[in-house]
Amino acid sequence: MEITHKFNPEHKGLETERKCDASTIIIFGASGNLTRKKLMPALYKLYVQGFIGNDTKIIGVSRTYNDDNEFREAMKKAIKETETDCKGWDQFSEILDHIKADTNNDESYEDLKKEIINLETNEGCGGNRLFYLATPPESFDTIIDNLGKHDLSRPKDESCWTRIIVEKPFGRNLESAQRLDKKIGRVFREKQIYRIDHYLGKETVQNLLAFRFGNSIFEPIWNRNYIDHIQITAAETIGVEDRAAYYETAGALRDMVPNHLFQLMALIAMEPPVTFEADIVRDEKVQVFHAIEPIKYEEVSKFAARGQYIEGMINNEKVPAYVNEKDVKPDSKTETYTALKLFVQNWRWAGVPIYIRTGKRMAKFVTDITLIFKKTPHMIFRTLAKDVHVSNILSIQIQPDESITLTFNAKIPGAGMQLKPVVMDFDYSSAFGTRAGNAYERLLRDCLTGDQTLYSRRDGIEAAWAVIDYVFDRWENEKNIAVPKYASGTWGPKEADELLLRDGRRWKIL
């Protein structure tokens, strides 16, 4: 079958029509969830679109599959779960290879090296190499050391590139992130390192940049003079699923905040970059992290809240408490919800609180950024109508709906002067006739073309950890204090409401 490359007509003539260099993509952790659920479907799509050609090969490294066929079968099953159209599978499967290897074992890297050289010499894969660390973080150190030791980290020659994608969590706190950065820095140069945060691959997240810096009307009011406060929410209805082994060591704060939520915050709070070049955009984001006031040890309860879900109802079904989930310790103190109040202390944002919250088993699946504007300085309709002194609200919904809405007050038709908030909205799918693609597709495409704009840089990662480092310490030291609970299917513990109520505010109803 001939693969037809379907491009969005809006993309005509754009970068997206490029094909990537002939390369070898090596995935460590090939039998893991991430590879099955995200990476393979994304690589398959890139292949079907013609971005990845037959001169690129993908080597899965795992201990699980015995040969190429087993690996291919498992990947086929994985792709079928997300793709309705698998017509390109047969051709795609030809570029998949597997090496059964234990990443702790020295010999495995020699086998891998031989296979890479074989593909480059006999299958026309050029000399470009992309290593993807899709393993649990405990394996990062060993793999990185071995790639260095077996001379796999440096580009083969001057005309080729070697890159590495490192999955989150990038460290457990500031100190471990610095350690990991040092280690990886000994083996790879910063230009080769792609620290992935899949939120940056989401179309609506990138649209934040277009919205702010591609339009002139919002920037003049995007500051402390007009904005009262900002709320960022990433609420999920799913629980810990089968990831307790990881989640028990992470918790909601580590899992979502210094990475995904801070990236959203940086895009909202950053200054306009001079150009859309990787380091220039990333410089501005890092400035935001440097400007956030770190939460002090003695002030953790004033600026941070946490919670753990107990049983409750999600979509009319009863779900168990976190402590009763598979592989979770019955006395676990892991937080499944967290909320923070932060300040970006710079000229633009001084005094504007940014409240962020994230949790599992919440009332609704929604990722949203809301900017609440200051009220009018004087309300002339006060004597005519009740409750008219309402703020304008700009809401940017990242998922599941991809939309931007502006709420403002309008006159209710008829006699008198009654006002009511109404909504002006933009919806991604109706405007462009397409829904956003898989975030990994975009990020893999960028990495294969050498664009680091949507990847995190060392200084950004470390500055983000520094903001919340004491929160981990404090919660760690409070192991004997019970974690507040919230029923599954609700909006989190009362402590999170209090974070705002103390300031005379409330979480937006989403």
Question: Within 10 A of 96 (CB to CB), how many other CB atoms are there?
Answer: 22
Least distance CB 151 / ligand BG6 (angstroms)? 32
Site for ligand BG6 in 108-147 (CB under 6 A): none
Q: Are 195 and 456 in contact (CB under 8 A)?
A: yes
Q: Which is nearer to ligand BG6, 72 or 360 (CB)?
A: 360
- Tell me the sheet residues that pair with 99: 61
Q: Give how many residues touch ligand BG6 by CB under 6 A.
A: 4
Q: Which is nearer to ligand BG6, 367 or 488 (CB)?
A: 367
Is residue 389 among the annotated active site residues?
no
The residue at minimum Cβ distance from ligand BG6 is 255
Please give the backbone phi and psi of residue 307, each rounded to the nearest 5 degrees, phi first: -160, 165
Record the tokens describing residue 485, joined without a space.
């609970």
Q: Which of 150, 260, 290, 378 is catalytic?
A: 260
359's enclosing H/E stretch is strand 353-359
Strands 485-487 and 304-310: parallel
Residue 167 touching ligand BG6 (CB under 6 A) = no
Least distance CB 266 / ligand BG6 (angstroms)? 17
Q: Which is nearer to ligand BG6, 32 or 353 (CB)?
A: 32
According to CB under 6 A, which one of 255, 325, 446, 469 is a site residue for ligand BG6? 255
Distance CA(173)–CA(254), nearest Å, equals 8
Site for ligand BG6 in 220-239 (CB under 6 A): 236
Burial state string for 213-240 with b = 16 or more CB within 10 A and e = fewer than 16: beeeeeeeebeeeebbbbbbbbbbbebb
Task: Give, as one character, the DSSP assignment of residue 306.
Answer: E
In sequence order, what DSSP letters do the residues of 442-506 get, joined into one string?
HHHHHHHTT--TTSB-HHHHHHHHHHHHHHHHHHHHTTTSPPPEEETTBS--HHHHHHHHTTT--
User: What mask, x for binding ligand BG6 by CB under 6 A, covers residues 288 to 327?
Assistant: ----------------------------------------
Least distance CB 339 / ligand BG6 (angstroms)? 16
Q: Which is nearer to ligand BG6, 172 or 389 (CB)?
A: 172
Q: Which is nearer to ligand BG6, 96 or 363 (CB)?
A: 363
Which residues are the active-site residues? 260
Q: Which residues bind ligand BG6 (CB under 6 A)?
A: 198, 236, 255, 367
